[in-house]
Structure 1
Amino acid sequence: MPLGWLWASLFGAAALGGPAIHAAFFAPGRLELAAEAGAAVASAGLAAAAADRAIRRPLLRIRSAVLQVQAGDLNLEAPLSPVREIDELSADLRRSLASLQASTDSLIYRAFHDPLTELPNRAMFLAAFARALSEERRPNRVAILFMDVDRFKYLNDTLGHGVGDQLLSVFAQRLVGAAEGHMVARLGGDEFTVLVRGEGAASEAVRVARRVLQALRRPFSVAGQEMFVSSSIGIAVNGPEDRTTTELLRKADVALYRAKSEGRARFVVYSAELDADPAERFDLDNGLRRAVERKELQLLYQPIVDLETGALVGMEALLRWNHPHRGVLSPATFIAVAEETGEIVRIGNWVLEEACRETARVQQLRPGLPLTVSVNISAAEFRQADLPGRVQRVLESTGLEPHALTLELTESVLLHDTAAAMASLDELGRLGVGLALDDFGTGYSSLSYLQRLPVDTLKVDQSFVGRLGADPTSGPLTRAIVEMGHALGMRVVAEGVETEWQLAYLREIGCQLGQGRLFAGPLASGQFRRLAASLRPAAAWGPLLRAG
């Protein structure tokens, strides 16, 4: 209480000032009363101090804590107090702070991470990418790998989004393992990036890309199905002119597009020449529309041989374009453009008719030669409702027997529309033509799906054959594919046979047929006819390498 008020109540109002204080204080009986009053004052002062420590100060600290929380600072402790009610209030505040901190951490994590793969998302990647470009100002200090899952849309649409999501999760795990500490992010859909920083970023990015492609060669087991998945990768490295994430991402995207146009399952490093693609594509589109009429298209024929005897048993028709200004172009250069513009159907018609006509010519030249021709069918052609009828008309017009024609289709073509695909395959089978599954092992095959397909030939992709002896996993995988084909009653053809060691191994595991430069590369029609004419009678045929 105020000391002046207490003094006046003891000694009167006059005691508050002047000489009367002394006389009043020492009046009879007043001294004892003053002593009691002093004790009361001291006791009240101690009680006020204790209350200040126990109540007022903790409340002020709690108020300060609340103000700090309002300012966004959650890294604080609520004060303790010996007063139970205040201590409970403080404990409630501590629990609220912990809950608020957990919610905030969760919100921040979800804002910067992909919920499916738990990888950093686009926002987090772009922030890290921008920071890297601002800190690493010298060239060749920042590189990005931009990649997606080859033919992912086919898988997602055919097997369902649930399976697609599971595949992306496993794909992300493979990427993280191959990146070895470099930042991996999912930009969205099936698009992923890897951020590489430091000296020699370009060479390190290439090393990471090779590890990624290697990691994806192992089969994926998803939803009880085994499948093979590949990825195309575009790489861009910072130069003096690259100041923004947008520009470097654009370059990586251009490189990714080139990787896909060259056949997928590979990486391409961006160079300035790739920016000519839009003009190049326009030129290719215009040229393709006139290529058939100008007779600029050409078929080469690569022999298919019996690996045990070396006998010539067939050939694959391979398309080339004799471009008037750019020379001979492989399909990897122009097929993507042809598919986008729809010109692929007209080109496919020409290929089928020309291949059948040439095979009939060779059979007339060597009547006893049991020769078949394999022709690739694109997705756009396969989706044509009249494909079986068109094949029948071509066989009738060229005089080729149906059993002498094999149509090669990739797994992705067959996965596009399962019901329609089965109906078309059944109709083609009734015609008597052979059906082959091309590039097996690079798509999304499952045993149950493969068992239902009315195909009679399985072609092992050359990426498996080419790694025989160099990659410890390629031998067992190739053996498994061959044994699986045999178990399903199919002939197996190995593509890309180039060495005697590969030939010996393929023979050992029971692969019946093969093609590749060990036997012969793609031949012009005239060369193939001369080869066929030079072969000895069928009963005495030796290895093709020693023929002619």
Structure 2
Amino acid sequence: MAIWWLGGVLIVVLVIALAGNVLLRRRESLNRQQLSTHEHMLTSILDSVDAYIYIKTPDLKYRYVNHQICDLFARPVDQIIGQGDDAFFDAASAAEMAEVDRRVLATGKKTTVEEHNVLQGEERVRTFLSVKMPLVMSPGEAPSLCGISTELTDYLEMQSRTHHLAFYDALAGLPNRRLLLESLAEATHCPSGGYSAPLIVDLDNFRLVNDIQGHDSGDQLLINVAENLQQRLTEDATLARFSSDEFVILINRLGEQQHDAASYVERVARQLLDNISQLRNDRALPITASVGITLFNGAGNPMNGVLQQADMALQQAKSAGGNTLRFFNVDMQTSVLERASLEGDLHQALQRQELALHYQVQVDHQGVTTGVEALLRWYHPQRGWVSPGTFIPLAEENGLIVPIGYWVLRCACEQLAKWSHQTAYAALTISVNVSSVQFQQPEFVRNVEALLAETQAPPGRLVLEVTESLLMREPTRVRNTMLKLRAQGIRFALDDFGTGYSSLSYLKRLPLDELKIDQSFIRELLTDKTDAAIVDTTILLAISLGLTVVAEGVEKKEQLDWLKGHGCYRYQGYLFGRPTPIEYLFESY
């Protein structure tokens, strides 16, 4: 664009030079008619050029202007000729232009200059790219000033808007992910005087704000948080909105001492946490945040690695319950890498047939086996047995629990189908733990019905164990799903009762058959009065709701006797048998 524009300027300059000779100086060889014809032609040419073209006298008064100048000043030609710039621009603009014009006339050199001028009666600053040069109109006469200006105001404003859209968040007006990554890349590749630190600030439970109060309220909260953070950061800090409710702060030039840098960043982070916790939106919902921090010094630190470290620290802060901060450390990275490796192996576990079901018997007060619980186990060829407490939460996080849970249900249904043809086992039930992730899949009911039809397992012998956290999440939808499965004959047990937050009003509305007391209460039953009271109350509650109560984790005969004496008649635990493969189940019992 600049080359084209300058090329056009040279052509216009030639035209102006000719125009100056024709319009402002009569030649003896031209008669009046010829002069008039040339004047009309050249005036038409200069008026058609999309630029502001003018000639000023040696004392900087306009002696020629084209039509665009008239439009700019909103004046006819006769009100412009003979006037100086102070008649059309504010004092500062007129003074700056006069200084440039005099320098051009004094040096006799062509000058290209970017001018920022304000017209009288306007507040808007207009930007012009101007070429100014001396122009000799008649031999012996002092040179006049010829100028050609193109207005760049609209173009620069559009360019600014485009840049803002590309690099700034539309809601909060902060730098966006793209601009932050550029800043971080510069910091990680160029030594900049000591340590730098990215802080990832993530709002705790932000989804609740959107769900309870609506997205408008959530958007306003994000704006308030952005303003709050911005007001409390120094000029050395860059604040960006990184994702929905996640902000990143990059602080540079923290000095060469790691301890001092860490102390300073920690103080900043704690102040930010305190300020955020004091925010309230229009319904006074408490707001907290978690912060993950890492430090790096100079070049040689991969940008993605730095962000990954800060994110690891953030997850640690989240796991600690939120409203806190955590620094990245090497042990944390080792743990995360180990977790990632385990996740990769878990993806292959089903295909490699490393998963297995072990079964633990459930008995009644007369010692008769009434059913079994199917428990998922994973034997890794290098790691050995992997704890369910390790790999099941991992499978829930990455979605693998859906295919794994389907496999567990298939195995249980196939086993029930086999037992249905064996008199000794036909009355036994199999309880299967169902993850909340699996239960909320749209096709869950359809898949269970298909498995029952395919395996011909008796639905009344299948018990699906659900947790309190599932019941509290979309209770109406959960109830509808349970009712559809209950219509098929499937039974339900509420697992780990007492460890969650279920509402009794929901509890009585759900189609439950069993209440399972968590083993953590059974463990200290004989020595802790509080646990004993909880167990006793749970038994009475189950009886009043018409539910069968099952005690988990029964390991001692004294525990069994206490439970019998308080009305609990179903048990599960090491006292009756450990989880074992199906082929050894009844041999060991």
Normalised by the length of structure 1, the TM-score is 0.48
Normalised by the length of structure 2, the TM-score is 0.45
Higher helix share: 1
Higher relative contact order (CA 8 A, sep 6+): 1
